[in-house]
Chain A
Amino acid sequence: MRVPYSWKRSSTKSLLVMKLTFFLLTAALLQVSARGLSQNINFNGKNVALEKVFAEVESQTDYVFLYKAAALSVAKPVTISAREIDLRAFLNKVFENQSLTYKIIDKNILVSQKDFSLAAGSPPVDTVPAKQESINVYVYSSGYTPLGSATISNLTDKRNYLTAGNGSAQVPVRLGDQMRISYIGYVDHIFKITEPIITSRSYNIELVLSENKLDEVQITVLGTTNKRTGTANIATVKASDIERQPVVNVLDAISGRIPGLHISQSANTAGTRKVELRGRNVLNENMFTDPLYVVDGLPIATLSVNPYGGGTPVQGGYSTSENPLYMINPLDIESVDVLKDADATALYGSRAANGVILITTKKGKPGPTRFNVNYSKVFSGVQRYMHMMNTEQYLAVRKEAMMNDAALPTRDNAPDLTIWDQNAYTDWQRLFFKNEQSNDVQLSVEGGLLLNTYRVSVGYTSTTEMYNQGRGNNRLTVGISFNHRSPNGKLAVELSANNTYSNNETAATLDFFSLPPNAPGIYDENGEYNFAPYRTQYGSNYPFRDIKNWGENQTLKSQTNVGFTYEIFKDLTAGVRVSGEFFSNKSGYYMPKAGKDPLYSPISMAFYGNGTGKSLLVRPNINYVKLFGGARVSVSLAADYSYADQDAATIIGMMYSNDNLIKSYSNAQIMQSTNNYAQLKVASLLATVAFDWENKYIVSLNGRRDGSSRFGDGARYGNFGSAGVSWVLSNEEWFKKTNMNWLSFAKIRSSYGVMGNANVGDYQYLSRWSNIPPTALDKLPDYDDQTIYTLVQPVNQKYSWSSASKFEVGARLGFFNSRLNIEGNFYINRDGKQLTNITTPAFTGFTSVVGNWPAVIRNKGVELMLDGTILNTNTWGLTARFQVSKNTNTLVAFPGLENSPYKDMYRIGTSVTAKSYSHYIGIDPMKGTPVFEDHNGDGVMPVGMSSSNFPDTQLDDHYRVIDLNPEYFGGMGFRVDFKKVLSLDAQFSFENSLVEDKLNNLGYGGMSNMVLYDEIQKKHWKQPGDKALYAKYSTLNGGGLFGSDAYYAKGAYISLDNLSLSYMLPATWLKKLGMTQGTISVNSSKIFKLSQYRMSDVELGTTPQIRRIAANLRLSF
C-alpha cells in the first residue's frame, strides 16, 4: 500500500505512516555516516526493483526502510551480487547510480532524492565580507534534532556565529579556515574548510552527546548549562542512577548523592521523608523547610488547608504524611537537579529560598519504536533485629526491681509476675515483622522521527509494608510525552502529562518492641481477643487494642504541561509554558470497636478527609542571543504567574452501631465536620542577562520582582536579584601554554543573591471572623442558640517577604583529561526578617501573631565532591565517587533578644536547633539512681527537661548545649564494569550526628522488654556501695536520663544504601528473541548499616530498618 506524501514502511513489516513533509528537504543534505553497522547482506539479482531490494534487506536484518512513496518513482532497477557484504557497503552500491540517497538513523534507513537546494528560512544575519565564500552549516543532534543557537567559531579569523532555530547558519569562510562548533552538553566539533565544502556550500554535522560529567546538561534559569562553564551550583542525578535502585520514592534514590541535601527518614513508610537543604533557615520550628519541588516546570504548591495542620502549609496538599515526590514513578524520571545557590534558583526566586529540587520526566528519544518492559520483584525484610531478654531474664529483672522498690507484685502493678504464664515466651519483633513482597512493573513505548517524538509509559507498583499487618500501597502511574518541531524549525511544541493514582494503607503502630516476653497473645485459645489477662482494677491494658485500626489514603493526580517556543527572528525566540495540575485526595482512618475491651465501653470512631486542588502555571518568555565578537550575550525576559487552590474537608464520625458501617459517616451517631479552602497566587517578572566571553569569563545577572498573595495589600511585592560569575582558567591561553597536562580543567565561580521567602501560612494577614478558629476542629459555642462570629486570628497586615541572601564560591578541577574531578563549594546563607509567629502580650488579644522578626540565621558550609574513572578499558571499568558536606547553623543576630519572648529559646552564636541540657554525673553509689550536676549550686538536682531551650543557668542547671544537627554527612559509591555487560554499583551514605539514645531513657525493671541485657546485667547497681554504670532496676522511671547530656549518644553511621548487579543479555540471545536490549539485575537497598548506636536503627530509633532486594528484568523490543 502506498500513501502519497506519507512515509511508507515497506512490504514485510507493517506500514508506518507518518506525516513528515520536511524530512526530504533536509535529509538530502545529510552526509553523515551511520555508526555501528555490523550486519551483513547476501543478495543476488539483476534489474531488481529498488523496493524488492529493500524488502530483502529488511528480511535479513532488523533495519527498516523509510521513504516517501513518490521518491521511488525516479529509482532505477539495480543489478547486484553480494555475499556477506557489510550493509553499508551494500547500500552504497545500491545507491551508486541513483538520484537517490540514504541515511541511517538507528535501525531506520531513510531514502530520499538527492537535492541540494536548501530550505528557505535561514536568512544570513552576519554580513559577509565580499571575498569570502558563504557556506551553510547545519548543526543537529541525534535524530536530526536541529540545534539552535549553537556557536560556530571560525578559529582562524576569530569570528563567531550562531545557528538559527532550524540548526543552520550562513557562515563566511575561506579555504583552509579552522572551524569549531560547540553546543552545551555536546562534544565540540572541529573541522577544516576544504574544497568540497566550498563547492557544495554546505556542511552538516551531528554533534555527539558528551559523556564527560562536565558536559552533563543542567537546567538553569531559562535554558541549560553544564559544569564546564556554569556559574550556578546545580547537582544532578540522572535516570541511569535512579533506575538502579529499588525505591518507590525518588528521594531515596538521590539520598547520599547530593552534597548539602539531607534526607532523613522519620518513619519507615515510603511516603514520609524530611528534606533539608543546607540547614534550617527559619526560626519557626513548625514551618516546613523542604526545598521547592518542581515537576516538569510546575512548582508543587503548599497551602495551609489541612484542617489538622492549621496554619502550617502542607506540600502538595494531599496529606501531611506523603511527600509529594511519592506521586512520581522513579522510572519516569530523566533527571533530578538540585538547585542550591542564588544563581541556580533565580528562576524560582522567592519560592526557592530553601533550594529547589527539579524533577524532569523522560521525553521520547527519536528513533524507531521501542517497547520497554521493566519488571521487579521486591523482597523486603528486617535489616537487623534487636537482641532482647528472654522470659527468664526478664522476670529476674522485674523481681529485682520490685525488691528495690520494696513493692509487692499485684495483679494491677505486675500481671507479668502474678497472673501471666511464667514460662511463656513470644518474640514480639518477629511476630509483627513479616517478610513481604512487592511487585513493580513498567511498560513504556517511545520513538518517533525528526519532527515528532513521543513516549508513553505505564507503571504499577504494589508494595506490602512489613509493619502494616498486611496493608499495602498501590500506585499506578501513566506518563505521556510528545514533542513536535515545525518543518522550518521555528516552532517547537512540547506536551507531557503525568497521571498518578495511589492508594496507601496504614495500620496502627503497635508498641510490640517493649512488650514483656511472657505477655499473653493477641488471641486466646478460642481465637477471641485476649482481654482477660490484661484487665486491672482500673481499666484495660490490652496492648493490641488498636490492632484493627487502619487508614487509607487515595490520591489521584494529573499534571499536564504544554510548552511552545517560536523563533520570531534569528536569535530572538519567544515561548510560553503552561502547566496545570489537578489532584483529589480521599483519606480515612478507621478505629472500629473490635479489639477494644468491651468491659470498658469503647466507642468506634473514624476520620474522613476529602481534598481537591489544582494549580496552574503560565510562563511566557522572550530570549535574545547575540554575539559580540568573542562574547555571547543572552537576554531573557520572563513572566511567571502561578495559581493554586485547594479544598479540604474533614469529618469525624463517632459511635457506629456496627463496625462494618464505619466507612460511611452517615452511619455515625455523632458527627463533626469542618472544611477549608485556600488560594495562592504568585506573580513574578524576571530578567536575565548572561554573558559568556569565549567560555572563559561567564557572568549571569538575574533581577526579579515577585508578588505573592500570602501578603496583604501593599506588602505583596519585593525586588530580588542575583549575580553569578565563573572563570574557566583552563580555557586561558596562558594556562594552555603551561603544559600542565595533568590538570585538564580548572574553573572557579561565585554567586551572590538576595531573595525573599514567603514561607508563611495563607490568609495570615486577613481579618478573619468565624465560629471556628483556623486550627480547630470544634465550633465555638453559640449564644442564645444562634451562630456566632468572632475574630479568630490576629490582624497584622504589615508583614512581608523575609529576606534570604546566599553567597557561594566554588571551584572545580579536572585531572588527567577529566578522569579525576574535584569540586569544592563554600557557602554562606543568611536568612533575615524572619517570618514567624511573634509572641505578643495576651492583652493584645492573641498570644502570637505572624510577623517579620529581625533575627538573622546563618548557615555556613562546605561541600566537597570527588569523582574519578580509575579504569576504563574494554574489559574493565571502575569509577568511584565521594561527596561530603558540613553545615554550621548559627543565630547571628537577634536585636533585642534579651528582652524578647525568645530570650530563653535561642542564643546568639548558637544553632537555632540547639538546646541546653543538664549534665549527667553517674549513678549514686548509695541509692543506685542517676545523679545530675547541680550546676548553680542551689541544692536542687535538675530532673528532666527544662521548659525552654536556654534557661538562665543562674536559675537552672541545664547548661550543656547540644545540637542534633549532623556534624557532617555525605555519600560515596563505586561502579565496576566488566566487558561492558556486567556491572556492579554500590552506594553508601554516612553521617555523624548525635541522636537520642532512647535506651538511656528506658529504665530497666518496668513492664517492658529491653535490649542489651548482658551489658546492663553486669554493670547495673545492685546494692549500696556499687560503682555502677547503669541505674538500679526499678519499676519507677529509675534510669531516665531525659533532659541530660547523657540522653544523647553518638549516632555516626555508614550505610550501604544501594547495591546493584546488572547483566546485559548478549546480543545473540536478544536477536533470537527479537529484542534490542535486555538487562537482568539484582538491586537492593538498605543492605546494612554500621553504627555505634545500640538500638534498632540510628535513624528510626526502635523501629528496624527495612531491607529491600529486587530482582529486576528490563527488556526492550
Chain B
Amino acid sequence: MKKITFNITAAGVLLLGHLLTGCNKILDIKDPVNSITTNQVFQTDDQAATALNGLYSYLISGGENEVNSNGQLGNDLYSAGGITLATAHSADELYHPSLAGDYQYYVETTARITLQNLGYSSKIWKSAYKGIFNANALIEGVRTATSKEFTQAYRKRVLGEALAVRAMGYFYLVNLFEKVPLALSIDYNDTQDLPSASPDAVYQQIINDLEEASGYLSENYDGNNTERIRINNWYVKAMLARVYLFTKNYEKAYQNANEVISRTDLFQLENLDNVFGISSREVIFQLKQINISGTRGNATPEGYSMTGRYLTPVLLNAFEAGDNRKTAWISAIAGDLYTPAGFSPAKYKINSTNYTFGGDRSEYYVVMRLAEMYLVRAEANMLRSAANKTAVIDDLNAIRIRAGLNNLPYTLTDQQVTDAIAQERRIELFAEWGHRWLDLKRTNKATEVLSEIAYKQPWKQYQLLYPIPPDEILWDNNLSQNIGYN
C-alpha cells in the first residue's frame, strides 16, 4: 500500500512540475466533432474543395436552408436576388401600383429610404460583407496553408475564386454605398474599427483582386461537369471589363471584353428563351440553386421573387416595336379583385407559381453573361475613339438581331450611337443585377431621369447612395453616414 501511495504521490509531483512549467499540452483538448479547424480545411484539395463549395452556397442560398416569410432564403438578399429587386425599384424599372403603405420595396420605389426605414439596403450590405468574409477566410486559409497535400494548382484555384467573389462584393458595395470599410481580414480585432475607404481605394482593391485572380484561374469550365457554375478566368475577365468601364479605363475594358467575346468556341449569344438555361452558351457564370423541400424548389432567386413585380410603364414604353425581348422576357399579370393587371419580368421561366420541390433545374441564376460583354465592348470602344463607330454599331446589332430588331445603320451620329448603347443596355439588361441603377449613376443621368418620375418626388441627389446601416456606425464609430441621411 505504501508503494501505491508513493507512486501516486510521485505522479502528483510530476503533475505539479508540469503545471509549474506552464506546459500547454496538458490543456489541449479534442476538437468538436461537428466542425473542423482552418488547419484541417486547408490540409488537402478535397477539404479545400468543400470550403470552396461553402463560398458559392452562401452566394446562392444566403446561409439558410428554408425560405422565410418573404419567400427568400435568409435575409440575404444580395445573394438571393436582392440587388436586382432593390435597385430596380430605386431606378425606373419596377414599381408597386399602390404606392402606399409599408410593403416591400416601397421605400426604394419612392426614393424614401430613411434611417428608420432602410428598405433592403441594410440586408444587401450585410450579405455582401458576409460573402466577402467567407472569401477572406479562404484567402487567409490558402495563404497560411503549409500542407503538401493541398496542391499548388488547387491553391491557385481556391485563391482565384475567392478573390473574384471578394471583388464582386466590393463592386456592389462601392456602387450602392460608396463609402465602405475595406475589410480584408477575418480577425475582428483588425477590422472592427475600420474607417470608410475612398471609392478609389475600393476600386483599386477590386482591380488588384481580379488581376491577381486572373493569373490563377483556368480558362476551362471544368466543374462537376460542363456546367458554368464556378468562377473561372472568363468571369474574372468579364468582371474586369465591367470594372474598367466603370473606372473609365476604356482601353482595358475593351481588351477584356474583346477577349471574352473572341472565344466563340465557348461563348455565343443564345436565342432569347435559352439565355438563362443551364446549357446556355451565353452564360459566363451562373449559380446553381438548391431545390429541396422547404426552399424555393427548383426556382432561381430572381425567378421566384420577380413574380408579381410590376414593370414601370416608362420601361415598357422604352421597348421598340417588335422587340422579342418584350414578349420573351416579360409576362402579363392578369390582375384580380385585389391586384391590378400589369407586367412583370420573366427572364426566368420557373417562378413562385410553378416551382416544384426537387424538380428539375432547367435554369440557374445567371451572374454574368455574354450580352453584357458586347455592350461593354461597344461602349468602351466608342469612348476610346468615336472612330470605332462601325465596330460599335456591329456589337449593338449583334444584340439587336438576337432580339428580332433591325440593324442600326452605320450612319448614326456619335451622340446617336452613345444613346443607342444606353438604350440597348437598358433593354437588354433590364431587371438584372442593378445594371440600370448603376448606369444611371455612372452616366450622370440619374437626376434627369428620376426627377421626371412623379412618385419619386421630391427627388434628391443624395438618394443615389443607400445609407450605411446605422447599426454599423453604432458599432464602428469610425464610419460616417452618407450625406443626406440623418
| A and B bind | yes
Chain A positions within 8 Å of B, measured between CB atoms, are 486, 491, 564, 566, 568, 574, 576, 618, 620-622, 637, 639, 641, 645, 674-685, 705, 707-709, 713, 716-717, 762-763, 766-772, 774, 778-784, 786-796, 798, 839-846, 849, 899, 901, 903
Q: 11 A-B contacts, Cβ less than 8 Å apart?
A: A491-B5, A677-B30, A709-B27, A770-B34, A772-B34, A781-B57, A783-B53, A788-B56, A790-B51, A842-B129, A844-B188
B465 beta carbon closer than 8 Å to chain A: no
Known: A679-B29, A681-B26, A783-B54. A842 touches B472 (CB 8 A): yes
B483 beta carbon closer than 8 Å to chain A: no
Name the residue among B34, B49, B64, B73 with the largest chain A CB count within 10 angstroms: B34
**Which of B12-20, B233-241, B251-259 lies at the interface?**
B12-20
Residue on A nearest B123 in the bound complex, by CB = A842
Find chain A residues with CB under 8 A from B11 CB.
Answer: 576, 620
Q: Check if A843 sits within 8 Å of B53, measured CB to CB.
A: no
Q: Check if B12 sits within 8 Å of A574, measured CB to CB.
A: yes
Residue on B nearest A791 in the bound complex, by CB = B137
B360 beta carbon closer than 8 Å to chain A: no
B35 beta carbon closer than 8 Å to chain A: yes
Known: A783-B54, A843-B472. A763 touches B224 (CB 8 A): no
Q: Check if B15 sits within 8 Å of A784, measured CB to CB.
A: no
Find chain A residues with CB under 8 A from B292 CB.
Answer: 781
Known: A783-B56, A795-B187, A844-B191. A641 touches B477 (CB 8 A): no
User: With the chains together, A934 CA to B114 CA distance in Å?
Assistant: 24
Known: A780-B57, A843-B181. A787 touches B8 (CB 8 A): no
Known: A675-B34, A790-B57. A681 touches B9 (CB 8 A): no
Within 8 A of A (CB), among B221-240: 223-224, 227, 229-230
Residue on B nearest A674 in the bound complex, by CB = B34
Q: Check if B15 sits within 8 Å of A620, measured CB to CB.
A: yes
Q: Check if A641 sits within 8 Å of B26, measured CB to CB.
A: yes
Q: Check if B19 sits within 8 Å of A798, measured CB to CB.
A: no
B2 beta carbon closer than 8 Å to chain A: yes
Contact partner of B24 (CB less than 8 A), chosen from A676, A713, A782, A903, is: A713
Q: Check if A790 sits within 8 Å of B58, measured CB to CB.
A: yes
Find chain B residues with CB under 8 A from A843 CB.
Answer: 125-126, 129, 132, 180-181, 183, 191, 194, 472, 476
Find chain B residues with CB under 8 A from A793 CB.
Answer: 35
Q: Check if B12 sits within 8 Å of A491, measured CB to CB.
A: no
Contact partner of B188 (CB less than 8 A), chosen from A705, A780, A784, A846, is: A846
Q: Check if B30 sits within 8 Å of A679, measured CB to CB.
A: yes
B321 beta carbon closer than 8 Å to chain A: no
Q: Check if A798 sits within 8 Å of B189, measured CB to CB.
A: yes
Shortest CB–CB separation between residue A870 and chain B, in angstroms?
A: 50
Q: Check if A705 sits within 8 Å of B8, measured CB to CB.
A: no
User: With the chains together, A899 CA to B2 CA distance in Å?
Assistant: 64
Dominant SS at the B interface? helix
Find chain B residues with CB under 8 A from A794 CB.
Answer: 186, 188
Residue on A nearest B227 in the bound complex, by CB = A784
Q: Check if A769 sits within 8 Å of B36, measured CB to CB.
A: yes
Shortest CB–CB separation between residue A898 and chain B, in angstroms?
A: 10
B31 beta carbon closer than 8 Å to chain A: yes
Q: Check if A769 sits within 8 Å of B51, measured CB to CB.
A: yes
Known: A641-B15, A769-B51, A791-B134. A677 touches B32 (CB 8 A): yes
User: With the chains together, A766 CA to B183 CA distance in Å?
Assistant: 21
Find chain B residues with CB under 8 A from A713 CB.
Answer: 24
Name the residue among A491, A682, A769 with the largest chain B CB count within 10 angstroms: A769
Find chain B residues with CB under 8 A from A782 CB.
Answer: 53, 57, 290
B337 beta carbon closer than 8 Å to chain A: no
Contact partner of A789 (CB less than 8 A), chosen from B13, B41, B188, B192, is: B41
Q: Check if B130 sits within 8 Å of A845, measured CB to CB.
A: yes
Shortest CB–CB separation between residue B330 and chain A, in angstroms?
A: 30
Q: Check if B5 sits within 8 Å of A842, measured CB to CB.
A: no
Find chain A residues with CB under 8 A from B183 CB.
Answer: 843-845
Q: Check if B24 sits within 8 Å of A716, measured CB to CB.
A: yes
User: With the chains together, A762 CA to B290 CA distance in Å?
Assistant: 32
Find chain A residues with CB under 8 A from B290 CB.
Answer: 781-782
Known: A620-B8, A845-B133. A789 touches B477 (CB 8 A): no
Q: Check if A780 sits within 8 Å of B15, measured CB to CB.
A: no
Q: Check if B16 sits within 8 Å of A620, measured CB to CB.
A: yes
Find chain A residues with CB under 8 A from B26 CB.
Answer: 641, 681, 683, 707
Find chain A residues with CB under 8 A from B194 CB.
Answer: 843
Q: Check if B38 sits within 8 Å of A491, measured CB to CB.
A: no
B66 beta carbon closer than 8 Å to chain A: yes
Q: Check if B73 sits within 8 Å of A781, measured CB to CB.
A: yes
Q: Check if B53 sits within 8 Å of A786, measured CB to CB.
A: yes
Q: Check if B474 sits within 8 Å of A901, measured CB to CB.
A: yes
Find chain A residues with CB under 8 A from B469 CB.
Answer: 842
Find chain B residues with CB under 8 A from A903 CB.
Answer: 474
Q: Check if B32 sits within 8 Å of A678, measured CB to CB.
A: yes
Shortest CB–CB separation between residue A532 and chain B, in angstroms?
A: 31
Q: Check if B20 sits within 8 Å of A685, measured CB to CB.
A: yes
Find chain B residues with CB under 8 A from A779 CB.
Answer: 65
Known: A707-B27, A778-B66. A768 touches B35 (CB 8 A): yes
Q: Check if B188 sits within 8 Å of A786, measured CB to CB.
A: no
Known: A778-B65, A782-B290, A790-B134. A841 touches B19 (CB 8 A): no
B288 beta carbon closer than 8 Å to chain A: yes
Q: Check if A788 sits within 8 Å of B188, measured CB to CB.
A: no
Find chain B residues with CB under 8 A from A621 CB.
Answer: 12
Q: Check if B13 sits within 8 Å of A620, measured CB to CB.
A: yes
B37 beta carbon closer than 8 Å to chain A: yes
Known: A566-B5, A841-B476. A639 touches B19 (CB 8 A): yes
Q: Check if B35 sits within 8 Å of A781, measured CB to CB.
A: no
User: With the chains together, A770 CA to B57 CA distance in Å?
Assistant: 13
Find chain B residues with CB under 8 A from A491 CB.
Answer: 1-2, 5
User: With the chains together, A793 CA to B33 CA distance in Å?
Assistant: 15
Find chain A residues with CB under 8 A from B476 CB.
Answer: 841, 843
Known: A840-B475, A844-B188. A684 touches B57 (CB 8 A): no
User: With the chains together, A272 CA to B260 CA distance in Å?
Assistant: 67
Residue on A nearest B5 in the bound complex, by CB = A566
Residue on A nearest B62 in the bound complex, by CB = A781
Other A-B pairs, 13, CB within 8 Å; known A639-B15, A766-B37, A840-B192: A564-B8, A566-B2, A576-B12, A620-B13, A685-B16, A766-B35, A768-B35, A782-B53, A783-B54, A845-B188, A845-B191, A846-B133, A901-B475
B84 beta carbon closer than 8 Å to chain A: no
Known: A618-B15, A790-B51, A843-B191. A783 touches B57 (CB 8 A): yes
Residue on A nearest B479 in the bound complex, by CB = A841
User: With the chains together, A668 CA to B32 CA distance in Å?
Assistant: 28
User: With the chains together, A522 CA to B282 CA distance in Å?
Assistant: 64
Q: Check if A676 sits within 8 Å of B34, measured CB to CB.
A: yes
User: With the chains together, A709 CA to B133 CA distance in Å?
Assistant: 27
Within 8 A of A (CB), among B172-196: 180-181, 183, 186-189, 191-192, 194
Q: Check if B36 sits within 8 Å of A788, measured CB to CB.
A: no
Known: A491-B1, A788-B53, A790-B57. A783 touches B288 (CB 8 A): yes
Q: Check if A683 sits within 8 Å of B50, measured CB to CB.
A: no
User: With the chains together, A639 CA to B23 CA distance in Å?
Assistant: 14
User: With the chains together, A1067 CA to B61 CA distance in Å?
Assistant: 80
Find chain B residues with CB under 8 A from A787 CB.
Answer: 50, 53
Find chain A residues with CB under 8 A from B73 CB.
Answer: 781
Find chain A residues with CB under 8 A from B28 CB.
Answer: 681, 709
B60 beta carbon closer than 8 Å to chain A: yes
Shortest CB–CB separation between residue B49 and chain A, in angstroms?
A: 8
B63 beta carbon closer than 8 Å to chain A: yes
Known: A620-B8, A707-B26. A839 touches B38 (CB 8 A): no
B22 beta carbon closer than 8 Å to chain A: yes
Residue on B nearest A576 in the bound complex, by CB = B8
B336 beta carbon closer than 8 Å to chain A: no
Q: Check if A789 sits within 8 Å of B51, measured CB to CB.
A: yes
User: With the chains together, A486 CA to B3 CA distance in Å?
Assistant: 14
Residue on B nearest A618 in the bound complex, by CB = B15
Residue on A nearest B73 in the bound complex, by CB = A781
Q: Check if A716 sits within 8 Å of B27, measured CB to CB.
A: yes
